[in-house]
Amino acid sequence: MKIEGNKTVVNGIHIRANFLFPVSKTQLMKTRFTLFCVTFILCIGAEKPAAAQATNIQDSLALVDLYNSTNGPDWHAHNNWLTSAPVSDWHGVTVKDTRVIKIRLESNNLVGTLPSSLGNLDSLSELYLDGNQLSGSIPSSLGNLVHLTELTLFNNQLSGNIPTELGNLVNLTNLELGQNQLSGNIPSELGNLVNLTGLGLYDNQLSGEIPSEIGNLVNLTGIFGLYDNQLSGNIPSSLGNLVKINELYLYNNELTGSIPSSLGNLVNLYDLLDLSHNQLSGNIPPELGNLVTLHRLNLSYNQLSGSIPTEFGNFVQLTDLYLNDNKLSGSIPSSFSNLTSLYNVDLSS
């Protein structure tokens, strides 16, 4: 390596820092720091045999950006970051064949914003940044990470819209964006992620209608939750396609219209179906009686009318039933005598 004026030459590679206009001391320091990082990484690679070349420079610089933009010196653990140690030894980073394939920095006190250069990590398969204090928007460049199978950003302070580009991540099996401050519509492009087994968008400020394309995610299992948002419009009947889920939470939104009868297709619902605290109206569909393994049903605080379906007598495993604060009428079905597991029931108001 040698310095030639405003150039650094490493193994025949010329790295130039041009200044065509006056720059501040801060800008000069940032430029020098980036120049140092590039030079340092290239030097490390030059000292290793071909079989053990340094991590891809594009990946290395993206990691440097992440460290600098999220207050790396104050992370709970930042062992070996920005040192002479191989990138594969940096805390939370996994490298394979010179490429970064995993980043696990969950609950590590990352404070700041996500750099767009994360989109350069195009061999990344897992990105875990949940449980931190990340703010700002989700970079649309994450849509470049087409090898991602895990993207977990929940329990942060992220804001702005969910990028439509996330619909490009067709290999994702888990997308967790809950417990943030995300706003705007749920992109219909998320319906492209047909390999998802887990999707969390709960506890945000999302608005607009639930896109019918969510019904394409037929491999979802476990809990599917859109609760604690500001979603409006009808519950799409396509949610009846999500036949592998065990729990469905849509409470605390502004949903209107009737409960689709297709929800009766969700025969693997085991623990809870919660549609409470919305503005749902019309009759309770008798098809809900198909959910014979259900343990808890909460339809309270809506504007539901008509009678309680006699098919509710099929809920032989039901322990909790909340139909209060609606506009229901008629008598309590005699089939309720079948509900021998019932522990809590509220039919008030």
* Residue at 60 is within a domain: no
Maximum Cα–Cα distance across the chain:
91
* pLDDT surpassing 90 at residue 28: no
* Residue at 89 is within a domain: no
The reported pLDDT for the residue numbered 49 is: 37
Contacts of 21 (CB under 8 A, 6+ apart): none
The total number of structural domains in the chain stands at: 1
The residue count of the chain comes to 349
* pLDDT surpassing 50 at residue 267: yes
The reported pLDDT for the residue numbered 347 is: 96
213 vs 6 pLDDT, higher one: 213
* pLDDT surpassing 60 at residue 37: no
245, 269 contact by CB (below 8 A)? yes
The reported pLDDT for the residue numbered 239 is: 98
* Residue at 38 is within a domain: no
The reported pLDDT for the residue numbered 50 is: 34
- Kindly state the percentage of the chain with pLDDT values over 90: 84
- pLDDT grade for 102, boundaries at 50, 70 and 90: very high
The reported pLDDT for the residue numbered 53 is: 58
CATH code where residue 307 lies: 3.80.10.10
* pLDDT surpassing 90 at residue 43: no
* Residue at 57 is within a domain: no
Q: Which of 37-41, 45-49, 278-282, 340-344 has the least mean pLDDT?
A: 45-49
Domain that holds residue 171: 101-346
CA dist 115 and 29 (Å) reads 19
Instruction: Please write the tens of the pLDDT for every residue from 135-191.
Output: 999 999 999 999 999 999 999 999 999 999 999 999 999 999 999 999 999 999 999
The reported pLDDT for the residue numbered 253 is: 98
37 vs 90 pLDDT, higher one: 90
* pLDDT surpassing 80 at residue 12: no
Contacts of 274 (CB under 8 A, 6+ apart): 227, 248, 249, 250, 251, 296, 297, 298
11 vs 250 pLDDT, higher one: 250
Instruction: Please write the tens of the pLDDT for every residue from 234-265.
Output: 999 999 999 999 999 999 999 999 999 999 99
* Residue at 330 is within a domain: yes
* Residue at 76 is within a domain: no
* pLDDT surpassing 50 at residue 9: no
The reported pLDDT for the residue numbered 54 is: 82
- pLDDT grade for 39, boundaries at 50, 70 and 90: very low
Q: Which residue has 């609760």 as its token pair? A: 227
* Residue at 13 is within a domain: no
If you average pLDDT over residues 44-59, what whole number do you get?
60
* pLDDT surpassing 80 at residue 18: no
> What letter represents residue 337's amino acid?
S
The reported pLDDT for the residue numbered 222 is: 94
Q: Which of 53-67, 157-171, 205-219, 237-251 has the least mean pLDDT?
A: 53-67
* Residue at 72 is within a domain: no
Contacts of 112 (CB under 8 A, 6+ apart): 69, 70, 71, 134, 135, 136
Strand partners, 3: 8
Q: Which of 28-42, 77-91, 192-206, 307-321 has the least mean pLDDT?
A: 28-42
